[in-house]
Chains A and B, each alone.
With several copies, the nearest count.
Chain A
Amino acid sequence: MIGITRDVIDAGSMIEAAKKPGMGALVTFCGVVRDDGGVERMELEVYEEVAIRELEAIRDEAMQKYAIESVDIVHRVGSLSVGETILLIIVGAGHRKEAFAACEHIIDRLKQTVPIWKKEFYRDGERWVPGEAGGQE
């Protein structure tokens, strides 16, 4: 499943739903709102049509590149508090090495290409989180 949601992400049910008989390993990445120097909450916005298309492209690329069985990615947007799940990536595979490599590849790619932005709110201010990626190619 690939999705953008405004609701709480339920890691447990997504992991259960991802399981298939041929899988021996599921590696999950869960991104969480971090209390980074006094962050109280975060607002995330998305260019949704493009974000979905990019997430699907990242999934398809990972499925081609690694010996894995499944990729699920759900990204939350809207207003989130410290400790809430921003993002869940689940990679299922026969064996663990491929699952780890693919999951890490997916989060690296996601941070470069998926049009989502975060604004952090502090007690006394706010700031847009700078992207990891460079500018226009």
Chain B
Amino acid sequence: MKIRVKAFARFREILGSDLALDLSDGATMAAVLTTLRDRAGDEGDAIFDETGTLRTHVILMRNGRRVNRKELDTLVLADGDEVALFPPVAGG
């Protein structure tokens, strides 16, 4: 299945602004994050800590809604889902 990943600000500079990932059916949000961590390489330190966990300040969305950290392993994505990843907002 296809998952779109949008990254913004510093994370966009690391991951690109709009990625298309091809994942096996039934993939969880945790699987998406593992894929992104591998892509990011060393630069991923801004997003993931040394254990590979998403840093606490990172905001994660699925189809425009915030995803709770507790759901990462259980949240199964669907074909066409949009995942977004960004640092704290700074508009205004």
Contacts and interface: CB of A to CB of B under 8 A. Distances in A.
B8 A113 contact: no
A53 B65 CA distance: 11
A114 B91 contact: yes
Q: How large is the interface on B (under 10, 10 to 19, 20 to 34, 35 or more residues)?
A: 20 to 34
A111 B90 CA distance: 6
B64 A117 contact: no
B91 A110 contact: yes
Nearest to A86: B92
Contacts of A134: 57, 88
A94 interface: no
B88 A45 contact: no
Interface string A83-108: 00011000000000000000000010
Interface residues of A, number: 33
Interface in A3-25: none
Contacts of A38: none
B56 A135 contact: yes
Interface in B65-84: 66, 69, 84
A99 B8 CA distance: 31
A129 B9 CA distance: 10
A44 B91 contact: yes
Interface string A103-134: 00001001111111111000000001111111
Interface in B22-74: 55-61, 64, 66, 69
Interface string B1-17: 00000101110100000
Interface of B: 6, 8-10, 12, 55-61, 64, 66, 69, 84, 86-92
Of all A-B residue pairs in the complex, the 6 with the closest CB atoms, nearest first, are A116-B91, A131-B88, A135-B57, A117-B9, A131-B90, A111-B92
Interface of A: 31, 44-47, 49-51, 53, 75, 86-87, 107, 110-119, 128-137
